[in-house]
Amino acid sequence: MLRQEVNELLTQTGPDAAMGKMFRQYWIPALLAEELPEDDCPPVRVKLLSERLIAFRDSDGKYGLMDEFCAHRGVSLWFGRNEEGGLRCPYHGWKYDTNGQCIEVPSEPADSGFCEKIKLQAYPLVKIGDILWTYMGPKESQPPYPEFEFATVPSEQTFSSKRFQECNWLQAMEGGIDSSHVSFLHSGSLNTDPLFKGARGNQYNIADKMPFFEVVKHEGGLYVGARRNAEDGKYYWRITPWVMPCFTMVPPRGDHPIHGHFWIPIDDESCWAWSFDYHPTRALSDVEMEALEAGKGVHCEYVPGTYIPKANKTNDYLIDRQAQKEGRTYSGVEGIAIQDSSLQESMGPIVDRTKENLVSTDNGVIMARQMLRKAVTALRDKGVTPPGVDPAHHRTRSVSVVLPPEQAFEDVCKQDLEAAPGKPHTSV
Amino acid sequence: MLRQEVNELLTQTGPDAAMGKMFRQYWIPALLAEELPEDDCPPVRVKLLSERLIAFRDSDGKYGLMDEFCAHRGVSLWFGRNEEGGLRCPYHGWKYDTNGQCIEVPSEPADSGFCEKIKLQAYPLVKIGDILWTYMGPKESQPPYPEFEFATVPSEQTFSSKRFQECNWLQAMEGGIDSSHVSFLHSGSLNTDPLFKGARGNQYNIADKMPFFEVVKHEGGLYVGARRNAEDGKYYWRITPWVMPCFTMVPPRGDHPIHGHFWIPIDDESCWAWSFDYHPTRALSDVEMEALEAGKGVHCEYVPGTYIPKANKTNDYLIDRQAQKEGRTYSGVEGIAIQDSSLQESMGPIVDRTKENLVSTDNGVIMARQMLRKAVTALRDKGVTPPGVDPAHHRTRSVSVVLPPEQAFEDVCKQDLEAAPGKPHTSV
Amino acid sequence: MLRQEVNELLTQTGPDAAMGKMFRQYWIPALLAEELPEDDCPPVRVKLLSERLIAFRDSDGKYGLMDEFCAHRGVSLWFGRNEEGGLRCPYHGWKYDTNGQCIEVPSEPADSGFCEKIKLQAYPLVKIGDILWTYMGPKESQPPYPEFEFATVPSEQTFSSKRFQECNWLQAMEGGIDSSHVSFLHSGSLNTDPLFKGARGNQYNIADKMPFFEVVKHEGGLYVGARRNAEDGKYYWRITPWVMPCFTMVPPRGDHPIHGHFWIPIDDESCWAWSFDYHPTRALSDVEMEALEAGKGVHCEYVPGTYIPKANKTNDYLIDRQAQKEGRTYSGVEGIAIQDSSLQESMGPIVDRTKENLVSTDNGVIMARQMLRKAVTALRDKGVTPPGVDPAHHRTRSVSVVLPPEQAFEDVCKQDLEAAPGKPHTSV
């Protein structure tokens, strides 16, 4: 349970909000690289952290992300002509480069100096992996580029997607670090989804619905360990790293690719749920790629031409009560991603955390909130750089492992929880 | 005309509003029994008096009506699994019985006592007639079950429906006790609708557009008497009982079934218009049932899969100007129910009663408002139980009758205005 | 750039706003005459200056424009029966004439005097040209009828249309007096649109993208002169008259009809963009009429049965990026009207003028704002009748002309800028 002011502190991410300022300390995913597929392609409207922006790729392949609206009279640059090294407003021909700098005002003499004074707010936009990342904070505190393993492995080993989610980022993220709901909500999919099925660990997941949680801090966030019973008195551990503010990796299953997420605020009542699958040591197989592109695993199918899930609030997520009754899906909703989004969106745009009743399996959620709260106030009050900014914090991995009861995961798995190029991951 | 504060007093029905508290003194229709057709069927979202609730029917046929949202983290229980004596949240498996009592929290030890402490706000839900009724007020003032005649006759004698109406309950209800608009708005339907046509009284209705109103109080509400000229100096009386806060019965026509209504607030800008037809002494005929199910009389056709009328605001109620011009329908809108809702919705979500100009035929409306206002303040200020709570007040009937001029309806019709099992109704 | 309070002063046009009061000093276009095509035809809902009104044409061909809602209980008179000299509310039969006077209350005795006391707010509605005009201000300051030339020439010489625009009137109007955007936004259409192409002036328009602006006041508004280079050191002048508060005429091209616009507030976040084409000395040709009716020139195609453009915000104005890339259209949007509305709507419902950066080519816009501001405060503070009310101010024309450099347009073109029946217009 949170007091209302704490709920607001953690959920509001506009330019003036404390959490908004904290989000602006990080590199965050802004677009899929596929959204700007070639030089001089159409610009793309992007809303992030409540700011309306335009993304484009100029004639030289440079990426730009800047205010959506022309500095002249406020026309949306989405209608702009992307040509010859800049994006040109179609109203009076003002032109901007990828830094937001105005480089042409046709009505004014070139030597008037007017053009040089016009500059749109712009943010860096860089391609790392399949994703275009931005940093929306003050120039002086811009950190080095992100180093999440999924984004740095060779491209044939990784796949990313995003989907629109109609709720605040925090309740989506809380679902991501809450390993206990897998035994319920996703139970129907563990043995059927091509990107989940067949792993030995699935059986422990389904058999033990009362996991014990052990949550351990690391420099960039938390390791949320969920312990279930395995055979012979041993424990099946699933360890979910959470890196501040909104990165998680789901513990792996057998030799399947590892998946994970970001939840990036669009505004305070919607977010982009980013999902990736990668394999640390091999290319994704054709079968895997086909499944990923078909929206299996943690990905989804879309309304054509959009990143809006096909199963969404307007159609009650295509719930199938017969499938629910027969247990083919636990909630009647198909697909792991939509199972999550349907419930998270059902809580309302921003869930009222003054009314909740948390239990021991919510320890990961509770500690993440505490860590967020501490970091957001330390930044606000003392200018302290929050955990997760340093790329060293990104180099982590999720783990699933069976251990004898006397072993603590944080000791035994120390190495396994670190990303390392070419090193196989630890997965049961 | 009402002052704005009185308009607000009478129209606002949320949990904290005075009228909201008064509505919570009564049993009110919550769902049609057909919405929960069998044990363990899908739960149904219900919004009543601005509260978001979930209704379900458990494995033993018990009905439950409780908070829509799980006490754990706020997921909508509409996604729940209705199984083995309770409704189970699909996120982490918390389970509730029909009293809102949590009966299982899988992650917590059974002997922890945690589960017992979790209880959702719940209201009783009982089937009387074709309707599931609820009482949303304090336990200590819960009255006996309702005894409206239409709900207590054998099931083959009665038929109920509901439809969504996009305006405040009060302006819909005011239309229901306003017998004078029949001569205009519904005039085209009196001689064509299978559930209206052929009665001798219809001709008086159409011929005399200047009814005289005589409104008489009874313990539970009002008798609104509308007097029109009949032959030989006699009067045709139509007497509409209104039982607080929102029950009415339309005066009968010949041997047709009698119909009536409730208007139950969903929130302050929409309501459920409930409609019923019943015959006190015989089963409804096949012809009548066919007409009722086809949406004739005071019922309507729906957008498939919903209780939203097919002819609604989004399609201008399928108005047919040619039919209006030719007088086949008076307003161009087809069907008595939609003729009413189209005009009542056109007033806006909550009509501004500071601007109206009332006349003598509005006497029923005026007196009903006074009685509501008096009751709502007496409850608020002195805790007085309002009229209409006592089931004795429900046992009333509408009447249509031709009387000589010297006879007062309230004297002559005293018996006719009382519901009595097996007694034929008084109808012209 | 405007301060926020000035932006509000100029953009808010409800009944209590200062600019709303100024708009209520003028005759303004309310409907196309085609919307009320015959006596006793269906009434039409009209929202103007934030007031919800109903327009109708009675049995004698008289036009009425009055409050949408019946004085009795607030039903929308859109559902009314238009018959026998008045519009009758279908709820209880109250009837109104075109002056808003109630002429029948069926429930009340005819000699009660009640009916005479009921009068809806009503405004005059008169047909001049193809348009029904209204005046929504105080009776005592009602000016003579408008005398814009397009509305007073014989009907075969003129064509009018209107379209819904989803933004404040002012940013639409500012586009209309901003002659400089033609060289960019509309450049693709000048040589292809049947109502634009072939004029000698088009080439100057396209060749010189840096027009010099000379703006001259006249009694009713401004002449916005845009000077571009022609051959032999001469200048090509395009002179756009602006008559307060929102009338403009686009400078003509060759022998094409002259076109122009009004932008009339529906409310503060939407307006009617009115467009006309007329020829001062001849009937419009069949080819021209066909083009006009097909939505060419400054007109548009519609969503069937509405005045909403087919290409609109919901479908991203059917933007064609390939056509943009190839320069067939400059912004990718087809049609001059929609090229304008797409950009103006993209600025948001009311553009934030505190953020703009104006340049020399915005001089017309700047001076129009100053003139509006001066007039609105003079009316508010001292009751001064604003420019443009006097019909003499309406008798103006746009001009396009090539002049030697030493000649000032305001001297040479004095006569050409005046409307005069039968006199050919000055056009290059």
pLDDT tens-digit series, residues B264-285: 999 999 999 999 999 999 999 9
- Other residues' Cβ atoms within 10 Å of the Cβ of residue A216: 14
Is residue C20 in a domain? no
List beta partners, residue A272: A164, A264
pLDDT reported for residue A350:
98
Query: Does the structure show a pLDDT above 90 at B206?
Result: no
Is residue A361 in a domain? yes
CA distance A222 to A229: 22
CB-CB under 8 Å, C361 with A92: yes
Q: What is the pLDDT of residues C183-221, one digit of tens each?
A: 899 988 888 999 999 999 999 988 888 889 999 999 999
- Give the pLDDT band of residue B142 (cuts 50, 70, 90): very high
Give the mean pLDDT of B122-142: 97
B113 and B137 co-located in one domain? yes
Q: Which of residues 329-358 of A touch B (CB under 8 A)?
A: 330-333, 339, 342-344, 346-348, 351-352, 355-358
Q: What's the CA angle centered on A261, arms B107 and A421, to 5 degrees?
A: 110
Q: What torsion, rounded to 10 degrees, do the Cα atoms B2, B4, B7, B11 define? A: 170
pLDDT reported for residue B124:
98
CA distance B9 to B377: 9
CA distance B132 to B135: 10
Q: What torsion, rounded to 10 degrees, do the Cα atoms B210, B216, B217, B218 define? A: -120
CA-to-CA dists, residue B163 to B14, B30, B276, B302, angstroms: 21, 12, 11, 8
Q: What is the pLDDT of residues C207-258, one digit of tens each?
A: 888 889 999 999 999 999 999 999 999 999 999 999 999 999 999 999 999 9
- Other residues' Cβ atoms within 10 Å of the Cβ of residue B34: 11
Q: At what angle do helices A4-11 and A169-176 cross, to 10 degrees?
A: 90
Q: Which of residues 80-99 of C touch B (CB under 8 A)?
A: 81, 90-93
C60 and C130 co-located in one domain? yes
C134 and C155 co-located in one domain? no
CB-CB under 8 Å, C351 with A73: yes
Q: Enter the ipTM.
A: 0.95
CA distance A116 to A98: 14
Give the mean pLDDT of A14-41: 98
Q: Percent of chain B beyond pLDDT 70?
A: 100
Burial of A232 (0-12, 13-18, 19+ CB in 10 A): exposed
B133 and B159 co-located in one domain? no
CATH number where A371 lies: 3.90.380
Closest CA to A258 of A225, A282, A223, A294: A282
User: For chain A, how big is the Rg over CA atoms in Å?
Assistant: 22
CA distance B296 to B301: 8
Q: Is C37 on the interface with B (CB under 8 A)?
A: no
C233 and C333 co-located in one domain? yes
Asked whether the CA dihedral C128, C134, C135, C139 is positive or negative, the reply is positive
Is residue A329 in a domain? yes
CA-to-CA dists, residue C67 to A408, B15, C51, C71, C82, angstroms: 77, 36, 8, 9, 15
C262 and C336 co-located in one domain? yes
B64 and B120 co-located in one domain? yes
CB-CB under 8 Å, A209 with B72: no
Phi, psi of C75 (to 5 degrees): -70, 145
CA distance C297 to C336: 6
Q: Which residue among C321, C332, C360 places its CB closest to the CB of A108? A: C360
pTM of the model: 0.95
Q: Which residues of A touch C209 (CB under 8 A)?
A: 93, 106-107
pLDDT reported for residue B170:
98
pLDDT reported for residue C191:
86
List beta partners, residue A28: A134
Chains that touch C (3 or more CB pairs under 8 A): A, B
Is residue C426 in a domain? no
CATH number where B36 lies: 2.102.10.10
* Residue B194 amino acid letter: P
Q: Which residues of C touch B368 (CB under 8 A)?
A: none
Q: At what angle do helices A336-346 and A169-176 cross, to 10 degrees?
A: 130
Q: Given A141, A164, A192, which residue is the final one in a domain?
A: A141
Q: Percent of chain C beyond pLDDT 90?
A: 93
CB-CB under 8 Å, B108 with A359: yes
Give the mean pLDDT of A273-284: 98
User: For chain C, how big is the Rg over CA atoms in Å?
Assistant: 22
CA distance C229 to C212: 9
Is residue A2 in a domain? no
- Give the pLDDT band of residue A327 (cuts 50, 70, 90): very high
Q: Is B71 on the interface with A (CB under 8 A)?
A: yes
CA distance A40 to B284: 72
- Other residues' Cβ atoms within 10 Å of the Cβ of residue C40: 19
Q: Given B74, B107, B141, which residue is the final one in a domain?
A: B141
Q: Which residue has the higher pLDDT, C91 or C187?
A: C91
CB-CB under 8 Å, B107 with A347: no
pLDDT reported for residue C122:
98
- Give the pLDDT band of residue B180 (cuts 50, 70, 90): confident
B240 and B314 co-located in one domain? yes
- Residue B259 · residue B196 · CB < 8 Å: no
Give the mean pLDDT of B124-135: 98
Q: Which residue among B171, B184, B319 places its CB closest to the CB of C92? A: B184
- Other residues' Cβ atoms within 10 Å of the Cβ of residue C179: 24
Query: Does the structure show a pLDDT above 90 at C71?
Result: yes
Q: Is C107 on the interface with B (CB under 8 A)?
A: yes
Which residues, including other chains, have CB under 8 Å from residue B322's CB and lie 6 or more apart?
A: none
Phi, psi of A313 (to 5 degrees): -55, -40
Query: Does the structure show a pLDDT above 90 at C110?
Result: no
**Inter-chain Cβ pairs, chain A and chain B, closer than 8 A:** 76
pLDDT reported for residue B144:
98
B327: left (phi over 0), alpha (psi -120 to 50) or beta: left
Give the mean pLDDT of B369-373: 98
C114 and C155 co-located in one domain? no
Q: What is the pLDDT of residues A202-219, one digit of tens each?
A: 999 888 888 899 999 999
A222 and A349 co-located in one domain? yes
Q: What is the pLDDT of residues A334-391, one digit of tens each?
A: 999 999 999 999 999 999 999 999 998 999 999 999 999 999 999 999 999 999 999 9
- Report how many domains make up chain C: 2
**Residue C283 DSSP symbol:** P
C219 and C121 co-located in one domain? no
Is residue A15 in a domain? no
pLDDT reported for residue C277:
98
Closest CA to B323 of B310, B338, B308, B313: B338
Chain B, nearest residue to C84 by Cα: B325
Q: What is the mean pLDDT of chain B?
A: 96
Tokens of B147: 């005894």
Closest CA to A257 of A233, A281, A227, A225: A281
Tokens of A242: 């959470």
Q: How far is A41 from chain B (nearest CA, A)?
A: 39
Q: Percent of chain A beyond pLDDT 90?
A: 93
Q: Which residue among A78, A90, A108 places its CB closest to the CB of C359? A: A108
- Residue A1 · residue A354 · CB < 8 Å: yes
- Give the pLDDT band of residue B191 (cuts 50, 70, 90): confident
- The parent domain of residue A162 ranges over 149-413
Give the mean pLDDT of A149-169: 98
pLDDT reported for residue A191:
86
Burial of B295 (0-12, 13-18, 19+ CB in 10 A): buried
Q: Which residues of C touch B357 (CB under 8 A)?
A: 71-72, 118
Which residues, including other chains, have CB under 8 Å from residue A248's CB and lie 6 or more apart?
A: A173, A176, A177, A240, A241, A242, A260, A261
CA-to-CA dists, residue B236 to A285, B178, B202, B381, C172, angstroms: 85, 16, 10, 42, 61
Q: For strand C235-243 and strand C51-57, is the pairing parallel, antiparallel, or unpaired?
A: unpaired
Chain C, nearest residue to B1 by Cα: C73
- Other residues' Cβ atoms within 10 Å of the Cβ of residue C262: 26
Give the mean pLDDT of C252-274: 97
Q: What torsion, rounded to 10 degrees, do the Cα atoms A333, A338, A344, A345 define? A: -90
A96 and A221 co-located in one domain? no
Q: Which residues of A touch C344 (CB under 8 A)?
A: 75
- Residue C245 · residue C222 · CB < 8 Å: no
- Residue B129 · residue B158 · CB < 8 Å: yes
Q: What is the pLDDT of residues C355-375, one digit of tens each?
A: 999 998 999 999 999 999 999
Q: Tell me how far apart the 2 most distant CA atoms of chain B are, in Å.
A: 83
pLDDT reported for residue B165:
98
CB-CB under 8 Å, C92 with B347: no
- Other residues' Cβ atoms within 10 Å of the Cβ of residue B322: 9
Q: Which has the minimum average pLDDT: A302-316, B17-31, C199-213, C242-256?
A: C199-213
Q: Given C141, C164, C180, which residue is the final one in a domain?
A: C141
Is residue A360 in a domain? yes
Residue of B47, B59, B107 best to disrupt the A interface, most CBs of A under 10 A = B107
Instruction: Give all strands (DSSP E) within A120-220, no chain letters.
Output: 122-123, 125-128, 131-135, 158-165, 212-218
CA distance C77 to C89: 6
Is residue B355 in a domain? yes
CA distance A294 to B22: 54
